[in-house]
Amino acid sequence: TKEEGIIERWVMKHLLLYTGATRHPFILSIRDGSVDISSFKRWLEQDYIFVREFVPFVASVLLKACKNSEDGNDMEVILGGLASLNDEIAWFKSEASKWDVSLSNTVVHKANQTYCRFLESLMSREVEYALALTALWAIEATYQESFAHCLEDGSKTPPELQETCRRWGNEGFGEYCRSLKKIANRYLEKASADVIAKAEVTLLHVLEHEVEFWNMSHRGT
């Protein structure tokens, strides 16, 4: 269609990996109700660590938006995303206490640590805005698509996990992801072939890290 941008083309081109990240066995186990609660708790504990590292990454994208944005609403969109992370951190704390999960003295799993290091490498000033936007979209879209799947008709997500799924699977978060995709597409269209190539590789890396993150949650490795 005419609406199709670079991101949509990449998703089609790498559909197997994209589906691997958005329809992971861990997510499917939430959706069919067979999820192992110790896996869910591991995910909760590790994702809290990830989100704390994600805040400075989103802040770095915001900084790039303030410097690069021409006429769009990029700054407002990314600022909104950053602001909602404040609420998200509070949510993790209350959810953890509900599940009797301690968020202090947690051991960072290998996959999480690797992912956080990758995020750090994307925070540098030298990283192009189009590239950082592609990564931000992919990180958010993975969660949006995954958790929205657990809320679709026919899903058997246990009631006590539905709030978690709504956190990323809700319509407002979906709208945020669509806005990010639009902004990323807009800057990718204008980017050099070199930046476009690097952004595609970055997208693949994000998806691979997301798969590893689910693997770690699911099986503990």
Task: Tell me the C-alpha distance between 48 and 96, whole Å.
Answer: 9
Q: Is 139 in the site for ligand HMH (CB under 6 A)?
A: yes
CA-based max dimension of the chain: 51
Nearer of residues 81 and 191 to ligand HMH, judged by Cβ: 81
**The residue type at 84:** S
Q: Is 142 in the site for ligand HMH (CB under 6 A)?
A: yes
Which DSSP symbol is given to 72? S
33-41, 89-97, 119-127, 140-148 -> range binding ligand HMH (CB under 6 A): 140-148
- Can you list the alpha helix ranges (DSSP code H) found in the chain? 6-13, 15-22, 25-31, 37-68, 74-98, 110-121, 129-149, 159-169, 171-190, 193-219
CB of 192 to ligand HMH, least distance (A): 28
14-22, 47-55, 95-103, 118-126 -> range binding ligand HMH (CB under 6 A): 47-55
CB of 209 to ligand HMH, least distance (A): 7
20-28, 128-136, 138-146, 173-181 -> range binding ligand HMH (CB under 6 A): 138-146
Check if the beta carbon of residue 221 is closer than 8 Å to that of residue 28. no
Does 210 participate in catalysis according to the annotation?
A: yes
Q: Is 17 in the site for ligand HMH (CB under 6 A)?
A: no
- Mask of contacts with ligand HMH, 155-194, x by CB under 6 A? ----------------------------------------
- Who contacts 86 (Cβ-Cβ below 8 Å, separation ≥6)? none
Which value, to the nearest 10 degrees, does the dihedral of the CA atoms of residues 217, 174, 133, 95 take? Answer: -40
Check if the beta carbon of residue 168 is closer than 8 Å to that of residue 88. no
Nearer of residues 44 and 131 to ligand HMH, judged by Cβ: 44
Catalytic residues: 210
Residues that bind ligand HMH (CB under 6 A): 47, 50-51, 54, 139-140, 142-143, 210, 213
